[in-house]
Amino acid sequence: MLLLAFAAALALPVHAAPATARLVLVLGDSLSAEYGLARGSGWVALMQARLAQRRPPVTVVNASISGETTAGGRTRLPALLARHRPGVVVIELGANDALRGLPLAETKANLDAMTAAAQAAGARVVLVGMMLPPNYGRRYGDAFKALYAEVAQAHKAALVPFLLAGVADAPDADELFQADRIHPLARAHPRMLANVWPVLEPLMH
């Protein structure tokens, strides 16, 4: 009888702990990990400071890693969801896939899987889109840009079309990037937050 009871218990579904509505998890790459910047000056830190002023305050967990790909994010996400139980997950990944010439179908599949996993855990998802420089070719660049909208539409997730809008395409763009011409300077990060905030803020209610 004891064995039967134990077997029955193992057969019961395991329910994840409920999502924490007042916690935002950011899963990104160097653009979100403050690469080359003083700590606290990146757009995620600026967002955290703004959300901390709300009543009740909202906590931000920045799980971004410089050099991260969508495959790496997909691998790390389940543990992060289980540990933090976020109410909102911001996914800012994909640029490093393109820099490495990875297949777009692979990038899209990873973004799709991460979005589905976060939603299954009870979180709302914000996909943060990117665009590629013209030298990647128009066809490849257009397809890369489109995959974010396609994933967002498929899952009814929120979408930031282009994190670097007003930065990479700004008249003063030359003055907004570090020497590598890839990573924005601290003065550009308020503009990046301005792109994310209108999409993220409604999800806090």
Task: Out of 30, 32, 97, 189, pick the active-site residue.
Answer: 30
Question: What sign results for the dihedral spanned by CA atoms 187, 192, 195, 200?
Answer: negative
Q: Is 189 in the active site?
A: no
Query: Of 41, 66, 155, 183, which residue is the catalytic one?
Result: 183
| Residue (of 157, 132, 133) closest to 145 by Cα position | 132
Pairing label, strands 158-160, 124-128? parallel
Give the Cα separation of 173 and 118 in Å (integer).
34
Catalytic residue check, 66: no
Told to judge if 30 belongs to the known catalytic residues of this protein, a careful annotator would answer: yes
Annotated active-site residue in 172, 174, 180, 205:
180
Instruction: Name the amino acid, one letter, at 167.
Output: V
Q: What is the arrangement of strands in the sheet containing 158-160, beginning at the earlier edge strand?
A: 59-62, 20-28, 86-92, 124-128, 158-160
Q: What is the spatial distance between Cα 193 and Cα 130, in angstroms, rounded to a whole number?
A: 14
In order, the DSSP letters of 97-139 are HHHTT--HHHHHHHHHHHHHHHHHTT-EEEEE-----GGG-HH
How does DSSP classify residue 203? G
**Residue positions annotated with a catalytic role:** 30, 180, 183
